[in-house]
Structure formats: structure tokens, C-alpha cells
């Protein structure tokens, strides 16, 4: 019986040694950052493997390399290359089909450059339309349309730092609705930059008008809900309708559990033209759901 105690102690010691040896030293992270800074182009994706190492990567690489467009990307399709910073021999499944073209070891870190076999050419990103002049927002109740005022201030969070984040730059509507660019964490806990647009419920319509949009062959985008608002699977569906003028070009329904849901709508008849693109958000059976959407033309 007593012999078991020293045996467990030796086992714990061996496991501790193994664990501490697997820790990547700060010097390796610093060297890896310098190596990536030398080769990364502005339109390259930089990502960290395994996924749980992302906070470490952000800490050591900083906002310049681990930037919001890279970290809170809608997906990987727009990036022609990806630079994967890997520890413990792990890889990211998002780029599993990409071609490896260069690999470099920096201490305990492996840096691999991948090429996207079919990168998408983004023509117009709606995120770039955030703000007055490039877009406007209205709330419609019973046929009456009320303009939502543009305002700028500090972001607001829920109690104790939880709950819906209200972006500081936003279109504020009567009844507490708003539309503004922020970052949510989806069902997989991945950050996503998008237009937060909580619907009003009932018969109300939250409408965002994007002006002077350059159209291509398709409207590509995603809809989703903040993780805390979707994980219980009890919320009401939210519907997003896309229009050009009075013509509907697509309708996307988000149900709890859908996660970060992609869509692609044909706009081939509008390719090469510029015009107004309208997004209408409704949720007749629920209000103030922490809903978010993003889209681009390509």
C-alpha cells in the first residue's frame, strides 16, 4: 500500500517534467514574430495552431500582425496565402486543402506558408460602408419609417462584462435597436467582425441601406448570433432579406444552433454596376436578439 505513494509521486514528477518541457519559451515566440513580419503581406492570413494557442499568438505577435481583419475574419476564402504558426506539430483544419509552399523552424515553433488554390476576389466589403454617407438605417413599425441616428461614443457591455456589447459607433433607433460593427464570438467561440443588428420583434423591420455598392457575380456573407445568445437553443429565428430596389435577391433564416452560417447569392445580372443594397432584419417572435451579419460582393 505505502509503496504506491512514492510510485504516484514519481509519475507526477515525470508528467510535470514533460509538461514544462513542452512550454514554448518567449524567445521562440519573439523570433517567430520577427520571421512572420518579414514575409507576411497585408492580404495574407496569419493564424495559430492549435486553435487554443491563439491567445498566446495574439499576445506575442501584437495587433499589427494578429490584426482584427485576420483574427475576426468571416472566413478564409478571401486570403491568397496563409501563414500558420504552429506548436506541438498541430495544424488548422480551415486550410487543410491549401498547398504548403514553405516551412521554417524557429525553436519549438514551425512556420508554414500555404497558398489558397482558389482565392476569392472581393470587390466591395460592406464593413467598409460603416458610417453615415455610405449607409443609413431605419426602423419600420406599422408602415411608419423612422430614421436611426448616427452616434459615436464608448462601447457598452452588459453587467459584469457579460451580455450584448453595444458598439460605440452605431446607428441608434427608437425602441433600443441599433446597427453597428462589432465583434461577436460564435458557437465555436471564434471571433467574428460583423454588423450587430438586434431585431425589434413583432412586426417591426430593421432596415440597413448600403449606398453605392459595387456589384460582382455574387453576394457572399454570413449570419450568426453571439454564443451566449444561441447556446441554449431556445431563441426565436431571425430572418435577413436582401434586396436591390424592390426586388428580393435572397432570404436567410437563422435558427439557434446554426452557428456562423454562410450564404452566397447570385448577382450576375448586376455585375459591373453600382447601386443600393438593402438588408432587412425581422424576428416576429422575439426581440433584441444579439444578431450579426456581414457580406461582400465578389
Tens-place pLDDT, residues 228-244 = 889 999 999 999 999 99
What are the residues whose beta carbons fall under 8 Å from the beta carbon of 14, sequence distance 6 or more? Answer: none
Contact 83, 40 (CB under 8 A): yes
Measured CA to CA, the distance from residue 49 to residue 20 in angstroms comes to 19
Percent of the chain with pLDDT over 70: 90
pLDDT (0 to 100) of residue 2: 45
Choice among 117-121, 140-144, 239-243 with the minimum mean pLDDT:
140-144
pLDDT (0 to 100) of residue 209: 98
Q: Which among 15-19, 217-221, 288-292 has the top mean pLDDT?
A: 217-221
Question: Above 80 in pLDDT, residue 172?
Answer: yes
pLDDT (0 to 100) of residue 238: 97
Strand blocks (E) in the chain: 45-49, 81-87, 99-106, 109-115, 124-125, 135-141, 144-147, 149-151, 170-172, 178-185, 191-196, 205-214, 218-225, 238-244, 247-254, 261-266, 274-282, 291-297
Which tops the pLDDT comparison, 271 or 159? 271
Name the pLDDT band for 170 (thresholds 50, 70, 90): very high
Of residues 107, 110, 71, the one with CA closest to residue 90? 110
Which tops the pLDDT comparison, 14 or 123? 123
Name the pLDDT band for 156 (thresholds 50, 70, 90): confident
pLDDT (0 to 100) of residue 79: 98
The neighbour count for residue 4, using CB atoms within 10 Å, is 8
Taking residues 114-140, what's their average pLDDT? 98
Taking residues 9-13, what's their average pLDDT? 45
pLDDT (0 to 100) of residue 41: 97
For the chain, what are the domain ranges?
Answer: 4-115, 124-297
Taking residues 54-61, what's their average pLDDT? 97
Question: Above 50 in pLDDT, residue 13?
Answer: no
pLDDT (0 to 100) of residue 10: 47
pLDDT (0 to 100) of residue 19: 42
Please check whether the domain covering 124-297 is classified as CATH 3.90.198.
no
Which tops the pLDDT comparison, 8 or 153? 153
Average pLDDT, the chain: 91
pLDDT (0 to 100) of residue 80: 98
Name the pLDDT band for 163 (thresholds 50, 70, 90): low
Q: How would you list the strands of the sheet with 144-147, edge to edge? A: 144-147, 135-141, 205-214, 274-282, 238-244, 247-254
pLDDT (0 to 100) of residue 166: 85
Percent of the chain with pLDDT over 90: 84
Taking residues 47-60, what's their average pLDDT? 97
pLDDT (0 to 100) of residue 164: 60
Amino acid at each position: 500500500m505505502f509503496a504506491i505513494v512514492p510510485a504516484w509521486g514519481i509519475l507526477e514528477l515525470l508528467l510535470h517534467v514533460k509538461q514544462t518541457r513542452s512550454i514554448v519559451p518567449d524567445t521562440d515566440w519573439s523570433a517567430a514574430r520577427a520571421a512572420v513580419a518579414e514575409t507576411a503581406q497585408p492580404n495574407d492570413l496569419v493564424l495559430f495552431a492549435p486553435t487554443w494557442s491563439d491567445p498566446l499568438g495574439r499576445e506575442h505577435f501584437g495587433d499589427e500582425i494578429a490584426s482584427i481583419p485576420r483574427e475576426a475574419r468571416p472566413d478564409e476564402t478571401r486570403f491568397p496565402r496563409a501563414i500558420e504558426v504552429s506548436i506541438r506539430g498541430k495544424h488548422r483544419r480551415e486550410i487543410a486543402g491549401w498547398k504548403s509552399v514553405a516551412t521554417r523552424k524557429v525553436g519549438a515553433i514551425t512556420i508554414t506558408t500555404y497558398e489558397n488554390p482558389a482565392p476569392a476576389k472581393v470587390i466591395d466589403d460592406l464593413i467598409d460602408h460603416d458610417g453615415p454617407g455610405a449607409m443609413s438605417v431605419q426602423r419600420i413599425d406599422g408602415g411608419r419609417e423612422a430614421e436611426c441616428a448616427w452616434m459615436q461614443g464608448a462601447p457598452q457591455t452588459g453587467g459584469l462584462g457579460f451580455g450584448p456589447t453595444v458598439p460605440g459607433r452605431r446607428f441608434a433607433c427608437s425602441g433600443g435597436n441599433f446597427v453597428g460593427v462589432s465583434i461577436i464570438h460564435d458557437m465555436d467561440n471564434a471571433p467574428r467582425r460583423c454588423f450587430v443588428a438586434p431585431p425589434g420583434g413583432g412586426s417591426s423591420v430593421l432596415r440597413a441601406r448600403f449606398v453605392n455598392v459595387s456589384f460582382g457575380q455574387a453576394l457572399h456573407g454570413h449570419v450568426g448570433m453571439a454564443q451566449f445568445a444561441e447556446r441554449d437553443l431556445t431563441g426565436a429565428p431571425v430572418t435577413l432579406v436582401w434586396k436591390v430596389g424592390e426586388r428580393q435577391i435572397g432570404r436567410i433564416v437563422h435558427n439557434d444552433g446554426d452557428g456562423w452560417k454562410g450564404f452566397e447569392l447570385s448577382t450576375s445580372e448586376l455585375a459591373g454596376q453600382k447601386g443600393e443594397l438593402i438588408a432587412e432584419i425581422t424576428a416576429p417572435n422575439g426581440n433584441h436578439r444579439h444578431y450579426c451579419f456581414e457580406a461582400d460582393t465578389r
